[in-house]
Amino acid sequence: MSLGNKMGAEALGTFWLVFGGCGSAVLAAGIPQLGIGFVGVSLAFGLTVLTMAYAVGHISGGHFNPAVTIGLWVGGRFPAGEIIPYWIAQVVGAVAAAGVLYLIASGKAGFDLAGGFASNGYGEHSPDGYSMIAGLIAEVVLTAFFLIVILGATDGRAPAGFAPIAIGLALVLIHLISIPITNTSVNPARSTGPALFVGGWALAQLWLFWVAPIAGAVIGALVYRFVGNGRESE
């Protein structure tokens, strides 16, 4: 596949992740009696990755996440020269999804970006009031384990064809753990899309949701390379 094909697949996949995951939070989580709640939002994020990994993963590898891209490079699975193009495609997809979501959400009377628009945050902007340090630790640890799952599930020694299921379920679990802490990022592109629309505090806190997931991805990749005896599997 050409780099252009890969970038297109990454943009589409990241669009679906942000539109499906953040859309479930903004549009469906808080409806009285019928709202899907934290569990529903967690499932939505996992399902977006699972479905797009099967749909376009064979084109681009199905990263849909700058932290995953850097982790796969550290894990010996991805060329350094394609990191920046993938990041650009992922962020473009995320911002486009946030834009479409804004157009839909703003069509309801009383809509206000002050509600957060599914942005990630800490301190007073954490869903349950967790500190910056708590958010940082959670994002690093959860992204590290996400990369361990990804590298393990896509290892040549793993059962073939099931990787998207394991990866999607891992993302569900990650959200079940951390929505109350930071609204769950583990994905800098996912954080960037909504933050650009909210502005203010969301942009001021965005640094954490780039630094922590990328650091966690590097740690996870290094751990998997050690546990896997240094083998770089395809």
Give the chain's domains with CATH numbers: 3-227 (1.20.1080.10)
Mean pLDDT score, 8-28: 97
Q: In whole angstroms, how far apart are CA 37 and each of 27, 34, 153, 179? A: 11, 9, 29, 10
| pLDDT at position 88 | 98
Mean pLDDT score, 209-230: 93
Q: Write the Ramachandran bin of 43: left for phi over 0, alpha for psi from -120 to 50, otherwise beta.
A: alpha
Mean pLDDT of the chain: 95
| pLDDT at position 1 | 87
| pLDDT at position 32 | 77
* Letter string b/e over residues 96-116, b meaning 16 or more CB atoms within 10 A of that residue's CB: bbbeebbeebeeeeeeebeeb
Contact 125, 116 (CB under 8 A): yes
| pLDDT at position 233 | 45
pLDDT band at residue 31, thresholds of 50, 70 and 90?
confident
Q: Name every residue whose Cβ is closer than 8 Å to that of residue 149 and which is 6 or more positions away in sequence.
A: 166, 167, 170
User: In one letter, which amino acid is 168?
Assistant: G
Report helix, strand or coil for 117: coil
| pLDDT at position 142 | 98
pLDDT digits (tens, 9 = 90+) for 78-110: 999 999 999 999 999 999 999 999 999 999 998
Q: Name every residue whose Cβ is closer than 8 Å to that of residue 17 and which is 6 or more positions away in sequence.
A: 45, 48, 49, 52, 64, 65, 93, 94, 97, 187, 190
Q: Which residue has the higher pLDDT, 25 or 30?
A: 25
Is the full-model pTM beyond 0.75?
yes
Q: Is the pLDDT of residue 157 over 60?
A: yes
